[in-house]
Amino acid sequence: MKRSIYEPIHHEFRSSVRSFVDKVVTPHSEKWDEQGLVDREAWTAAGEAGFLGIAVPEAYGGGGTPDFRFRMIMMEELCRAGANSFNAGTSVQDDLVIPYLADLGTEDQKHTWLPRLCSGVAIGSLALTEPGAGSDLRGIRSLARRDGDRWLLNGSKTFITNGILADVIVVLTRIEPAPPEGGYALFAVPTDRVGFHRGRKLNKLGLRGNDTAELSFVDIELTVADLLGTAGRGLAHVMERLPRERMSIAATSLAASVAALEWTQQYCFDRKAFGQRIGDFQATRFTLAEIATELDAATSLLDRATMLLNADELTAVDAAKAKYWITDLHQRVVDRCLQLHGGYGYILEYPIARAFVDARIQPIYGGTNEIMKEIIGRDIAHTHTPQEHR
């Protein structure tokens, strides 16, 4: 399917990104998977090339281009190379951490962190999930208790992407006493702050080159200079930014699915069995045809949502639909593509094997797909509720 969503400037950008990925990322991806960590040099190289902080205003060191299509191209090229771990890390940086600081930060916070994040000198994390609270963020137990003109933060977080390398962490916590605005707040916590501790680097099924960690906070002193947004509105601030996060996940799933199909088509028309190419068997052609058609449909869904995001018209329901449907499709695509590789699909030196395990997290994080269906279902139910009962 030809992507009419892209213009000449996007194609030029893609050429630059592809060159960067081929030179800087692909030669090191296996090493990163083995060590469970992306080298910091890759982050700074991405920053120097202008591939981090694309949407950040130039005054803060960014690209000044808030067009999500550029981020999509980054994801497509990293997934094409099978660099899913680096894609996960940079997506957290650009689509989660940076928007919180850019949207909610004070001028001091923006000038402190955005140039460093855009250059790759600093790496950021978003710490929402806790051992007892995942999709249900109202259940978090981390607590910042007011003590005069400061807060003392205590608690723990888990499944935190970039947690080992992070220099700044955007933390969602409860606050006491709770102001009239509510009982949650967001803080930008530097990782050199006394009382911050990194726990285990988690041993994951997939995305093995991305550092995912447990974190803990013990009597960390925070002041209003660390507060992001309004005290009490922390949960609301998160909900406002979840649609972009879910779009990032959906875009990654589509990019990874397209890459898996391309590798599989190449394999099927190179590999022979029973005297002919695998791709010449009708059963194989039908499978490839089904996958290609489903990906065309997914592309249309994502492209529509992307243009809504660019126009600042994307709703939580729109984002939930894209995230749920495309990440579920991603599971079916990599499974069928691996099957067409036969025994070689089970060998990790083949990219389809790594893509298969990397894909499994997509319907889970950013809110499980069951939660996405609940969001969509509630909206449907609301439209069928009599006006007097709304």
Q: Which residues are catalytic?
A: 245
3-state secondary structure of 220: strand
CA angle, residues 362, 368, 371, in degrees to nearest 5: 145
CA angle, residues 79, 83, 88, in degrees to nearest 5: 85
> Hey, what are 132's tokens?
């007892």
> Hey, what are 307's tokens?
């243009």
3-state secondary structure of 362: coil
Task: Round the CA-based radius of gyration of the chain to a whole number and report it.
Answer: 22
Q: Tell me the C-alpha distance between 198 and 213, whole Å.
A: 7
3-state secondary structure of 160: strand
Q: How many other C-beta atoms are found inside a 10 Å radius of the C-beta of residue 105?
A: 21
The 8-class DSSP code of residue 178 comes to P
Q: How many other C-beta atoms are found inside a 10 Å radius of the C-beta of residue 365?
A: 18
Largest CA distance in the chain: 80
Q: Tell me the C-alpha distance between 36 and 167, whole Å.
A: 18
For residues 244 and 320, the answer to whether their CB atoms sit within 8 Å is no
3-state secondary structure of 27: helix
Nearest partner of 340 among 292, 389, 390, 303, judged by Cα:
292
Measured distance between the N- and C-terminal CA atoms of the chain, rounded to whole angstroms:
42
What is the DSSP track for 338-349? Answer: HHHTGGGGGSTT
For residues 87 and 79, the answer to whether their CB atoms sit within 8 Å is yes
Q: Tell me the C-alpha distance between 175 and 56, whole Å.
A: 30
